[in-house]
Amino acid sequence: MTSTTEQVAGLDDLAATTLLRFATAGSVDDGKSTLVGRLLHDSKSVLTDQMEAVEAVSAQRGQDAPDLALLTDGLRAEREQGITIDVAYRYFATARRRFILADTPGHVQYTRNMVTGASTADLAVVLVDARNGVIEQTRRHAAVAALLRVPHVVLAVNKMDLVGYQESVFAAIAEEFTAYAARLGVSEVTAIPISALAGDNVVEPSAHMDWYGGPTVLEHLENVPVSHEAAGSPARFPVQYVIRPQTPEHPDYRGYAGQIAVGSFHVHQEVTVQPSGRTTTVTGIERLGEDVDVAWAPQSVTLHLAGHLDVSRGDLIAPTACVPAVTQDIAATVCHVADRPLAPGARVLVKHATRTVKAIVREIPSRLTLDDLSHDAAPGSLRANDIGQVVIRTAEPLPIDDYADSRRTGSFLIIDPADGTTLAAGMAGHAFAERAAEAPAEDGEGWDF
Amino acid sequence: MTSSTAVAEGVAGAWALSHLDALESEAVHIFREVAGEFEKPVILFSGGKDSIVMLHLALKAFAPAPVPFTLLHVDTGHNFPEVLEYRDRTVARHGLRLHVASVQDYIDAGKLRERPDGTRNPLQTVPLTEAIQQLKFDAVFGGGRRDEEKARAKERVFSLRDEFSQWDPRRQRPELWQLYNGRHAPGEHVRVFPLSNWTELDVWQYIAREGIELPEIYFAHQREVFQRNGMWLTAGEWGGPKENETPETRLIRYRTVGDMSCTGAVDSDATTLDAVIAEIAVSRLTERGATRADDKMSEAAMEDRKREGYF
């Protein structure tokens, strides 16, 4: 069954869409499940059998209307307790784009869950209740989005139906949030007044808010640009695997397989391999079977290099003109994601790009408690959901970028060598951490990165 | 308060990958991570479309070298003959090594008992987990997709299983950036799902784009089927039709392939990839809702089976 050119041509409309990853964040009663349910339902992504199952369970429980939260709560314990325990991923599509939604729970364990969802997100939707405006939790969500450098932030001001669809209510919340986000370093916020329950401005434009001229949530999701790190940033290629067939047809083939993390590479480019620092030239690029002259993030490719270099998994290839510094001392901001604490002196593993090395936690100079946005200068240790600064000494040098410059090569995991538990999500960068350590903002409730 | 998307898209648009290229690149990355970090990985290969796409991606990820993994099939004894034939042909063509764990062998040895309803899908878990332990696989690729089922929506790309192959949804590692943590103790293993972020439609679009051959039962054909629990099941030695069930010949195709006792056919006249894609694009039923009897056993059927070690 080989597809003909004619068949493929007929599929263009479906196949040419792009992919957007986004995360939602909201407090328990902000209506996040309703928003997610509404997006799925109104974009016709909920199929009949799924809806029938939801209706049956809702009726069995004596509820009048189908509970859209049942669409997203997939586990026994979640249904029993009526809460969302863990990040789940949802999929839907429109004619323009395919979406991967990281549906992150809004309660107790929110920080590590939102960090998980935000780490791969191109966009974060922060939901607020129009009646309550910007609350502590809203600021936490904005802070996590800023910390993780999610490129786009949407403020969805929900429950506009409960404030009479008043423009003044929306404008005040949007202004307060945008100002707060700007202090966190978020340069672009798109604020949208919605009612997830009534369906205003989620998929369909609202008939109740003539004063709003912007996009609906879905329109914005369809139009926001993706993968803008690719252009302009210094290129990075972590070597994943060396392909050496050693077959009669390919006796001398030696290709370096990996996914371009940032930027682009081209044939004839002069590159340097870290940590050895040796310089060579790209002699060929294969993009999964096709020879190409140029390739860019996040394409998976195989590079060919001139000469006989010793290059293996864990090495990093970068343009000679812009090589990352190699260091054994990493200062970083981390989000602690495990239940067991992390203390100075801990012997850990650091997984950065394709390399895992032994390391020791030297210092934990400060902790930022997102609950009240306070700053603790001598925390002793980090516990679950804490965000803090750490100083780590690694056993081998790592070519690590500032997270501010590259989410892909500035991030790392801290792993417990005893049982492999992921302890913390790390974001490298002195400047990042130092700015966070500055004195609390003038009103005493905020902090800057 | 609008964003400047029009201007920005002009800049970023040229660099954006199509969704199929993005999914392909991500899946290849996952295969190469496993090859780089594990001692003895294996691909679960059933001859169904998801495992066929997995194998295709693995072939691309390591070309021109051979795929550095073996294959494992859990044969229920009630598989479609067309699919087994496809499986063996594919293994031979690519010079791969196939392990088969047989449910029938377990029944014959008295280690498993046939269920009263004749369904063998739930019986696969024991041969699967024992094969993993005996052959000492430390990474097991599965074709599961998060869009299939709401318990699967919670599954990680790298999913740690204990020495009993159990999945505990409350003790999953957070999945941060593209940094997959595959560390595990001896006896434990990691299930790996490179197609996690794919939907049924993506799989079909990719099959069409890449010109991948499939077993013919995925395309409309005449077949003798009978109705049970609202599904069209194929007649066969596995236990159907019963006396009160009437076989009839219909134009059907399969959306999934699995054990014959619980895999339902759908009425269809789609004989080409284009027609199949057009059909799925407008279908108002999920893949599993339309064709899998075992998922209907209880509201948490999939979660319960996954906890025990099912893939």
Task: Say yes or no: B108 and B240 in one domain.
Answer: no
Closest in A3, A73, A351 to B181, CB measured: A351
SS3 B156: coil
Least confident of A349-353, A384-388, B128-132: A384-388
Cis amide leading into A275 (omega within 30): yes
Judge: B211–A2 Cβ closer than 8 Å, yes or no. Answer: yes
B255 assigned to some structural domain? yes
| CA distance linking residue A291 with residue A293, whole number of Å | 7
SS3 B189: strand
Instruction: Indicate the average pLDDT of chain B.
Output: 86
Give the pair of three-digit tokens for residue A93. 């599509």
Instruction: For residue B214, list chain A residues with Cβ-Cβ distance below 8 A.
Output: 1
Task: Say yes or no: B177 and B222 in one domain.
Answer: no
- Residues B172-194, mean pLDDT to the nearest whole number: 93
Instruction: For residue A14, list chain B residues with Cβ-Cβ distance below 8 A.
Output: 201, 205, 277, 281
Q: How many CB atoms lie within 10 A of CB B98?
A: 15
Judge: B5–A223 Cβ closer than 8 Å, yes or no. Answer: yes
Task: Say yes or no: B45 and B141 in one domain.
Answer: yes
B210 assigned to some structural domain? no
Task: Say yes or no: B253 and B132 in one domain.
Answer: no
Taking the alpha carbons at both ends of chain A, their separation in whole angstroms is 56
Judge: B169–A351 Cβ closer than 8 Å, yes or no. Answer: no
Task: Say yes or no: B108 and B222 in one domain.
Answer: no
Between residues A98 and B7, which one has the greater pLDDT? Answer: A98
**Domain count along chain B:** 2
Instruction: For residue A77, list chain B residues with Cβ-Cβ distance below 8 A.
Output: 169-170
Chain B segment 248-277 residues within 8 A of A by beta carbon are: 272-274, 277
- Whether A433 has a pLDDT exceeding 60, the answer reads no
Closest in B16, B60, B272 to A227, CB measured: B16
Strands A97-103 and A255-259: unpaired
Task: Say yes or no: B164 and B236 in one domain.
Answer: no
Calculate Rg over the CA atoms of chain B: 20
Judge: B178–A408 Cβ closer than 8 Å, yes or no. Answer: yes
Domains located in chain A, CATH noted = 14-223 (3.40.50.300), 237-319 (2.40.30.10), 326-428 (2.40.30.10)
Task: Say yes or no: B39 and B181 in one domain.
Answer: yes
Chain A segment 199-258 residues within 8 A of B by beta carbon are: 213-215, 220, 223-228, 230-231, 240-241, 243-247, 249-250, 253, 257-258
Between residues A117 and A46, which one has the greater pLDDT? Answer: A117
A411 strand-pairing partners: A427
Residue from A22, A54, A75 whose CB has the most chain B CBs within 10 Å, to mutate = A75
Judge: B5–A213 Cβ closer than 8 Å, yes or no. Answer: no
Is residue A8 within 8 Å of B199, Cβ to Cβ? no
Chain B segment 272-301 residues within 8 A of A by beta carbon are: 272-274, 277, 281, 283-286, 289-290, 299-300
Between residues B110 and A230, which one has the greater pLDDT? Answer: B110
- pLDDT-based confidence at residue B242 (cuts at 50, 70, 90): confident
Instruction: For residue B6, list chain A residues with Cβ-Cβ distance below 8 A.
Output: 223
B270-B273-B276 Cα angle (round to 5): 40
Chain B segment 107-146 residues within 8 A of A by beta carbon are: 146
Task: Say yes or no: B304 and B280 in one domain.
Answer: no
Phi, psi torsion values for A139, nearest 5 degrees: -65, -35
Closest in A15, A190, A253 to B1, CB measured: A190
| Nearest residue in chain B measured CA to CA from A113 | B174
CA-based nearest residue to A33, from A75, A66, A67, A74: A67
- Residues B114-127, mean pLDDT to the nearest whole number: 83
Sequence letter at residue B65: A
Residue from B56, B183, B279 whose CB has the most chain A CBs within 10 Å, to mutate = B183
Place of tokens 């410059």: A405
| CA distance linking residue A386 with residue A366, whole number of Å | 10
Give the pair of three-digit tokens for residue A258. 């990996």
CA-based nearest residue to A424, from A371, A400, A448, A388: A388
Domain residues for the domain of B91 are 19-201+300-308
Chain A segment 123-152 residues within 8 A of B by beta carbon are: 152
Please name the residues in contact with A222: beta carbons below 8 A apart, sequence gap of 6 or more.
A94, A96, A97
B1 assigned to some structural domain? no
| CA distances for A377 relative to A188, A329, A364, angstroms | 31, 20, 9
- pLDDT-based confidence at residue A445 (cuts at 50, 70, 90): very low
Closest in B2, B12, B303 to A228, CB measured: B12
- pTM of the entire predicted model: 0.89
- Residues A138-156, mean pLDDT to the nearest whole number: 91
Task: Say yes or no: B142 and B287 in one domain.
Answer: no
- Whether A372 has a pLDDT exceeding 80, the answer reads no
What digits encode the pLDDT tens for the residues A208-219?
999 999 999 999
Closest in A50, A240, A421 to B32, CB measured: A240
| Nearest residue in chain B measured CA to CA from A57 | B299
Chain B segment 18-57 residues within 8 A of A by beta carbon are: 18-26, 28-29, 32-33, 35-36
Residue A398 contacts B where some CB pair is shorter than 8 Å: no
Q: How many CB atoms lie within 10 A of CB A181?
A: 24
Residue A88 contacts B where some CB pair is shorter than 8 Å: yes
Chain A segment 188-207 residues within 8 A of B by beta carbon are: 188-191
Residue from A6, A177, A241 whose CB has the most chain B CBs within 10 Å, to mutate = A241
B7 assigned to some structural domain? no
Question: What is the pLDDT at residue A410?
Answer: 95
CA-based nearest residue to A226, from B21, B175, B180, B61: B21
Instruction: For residue B167, list chain A residues with Cβ-Cβ distance below 8 A.
Output: none
B56 assigned to some structural domain? yes
Judge: A188–B147 Cβ closer than 8 Å, yes or no. Answer: no
Task: Say yes or no: B114 and B185 in one domain.
Answer: yes
| CA distance linking residue A399 with residue A406, whole number of Å | 12
Question: What is the pLDDT at residue A6?
Answer: 32
Chain B segment 164-193 residues within 8 A of A by beta carbon are: 169-170, 172-179, 181, 183-185
- Residues A206-229, mean pLDDT to the nearest whole number: 90
- Whether A328 has a pLDDT exceeding 90, the answer reads yes
- pLDDT-based confidence at residue A256 (cuts at 50, 70, 90): very high
Question: What is the pLDDT at residue A99?
Answer: 94
| CA distance linking residue A25 with residue A96, whole number of Å | 24
What digits encode the pLDDT tens for the residues B249-307?
999 999 888 888 888 899 999 999 999 999 888 877 777 666 665 555 445 666 666 66
Question: What is the pLDDT at residue B13?
Answer: 56
Least confident of A42-51, A83-92, B146-155: A83-92
Judge: B21–A299 Cβ closer than 8 Å, yes or no. Answer: yes
What digits encode the pLDDT tens for the residues A282-294?
999 999 999 999 9
CATH number at residue B187: 3.40.50.620
SS3 B147: coil
Task: Say yes or no: B267 and B192 in one domain.
Answer: no
Sequence letter at residue B61: A
Task: Say yes or no: B287 and B176 in one domain.
Answer: no
Judge: A422–B174 Cβ closer than 8 Å, yes or no. Answer: yes
B14 assigned to some structural domain? no
B105 assigned to some structural domain? yes
B128 assigned to some structural domain? yes
Q: How many CB atoms lie within 10 A of CB A8?
A: 17
Judge: A15–B179 Cβ closer than 8 Å, yes or no. Answer: no
Percent of chain B with pLDDT over 90: 54
What digits encode the pLDDT tens for the residues B135-166?
999 999 999 998 887 777 788 999 999 888 88
Sequence letter at residue A374: S
| CA distance linking residue A73 with residue A417, whole number of Å | 33
Cis amide leading into A319 (omega within 30): no
Closest in B211, B272, B277 to A14, CB measured: B277
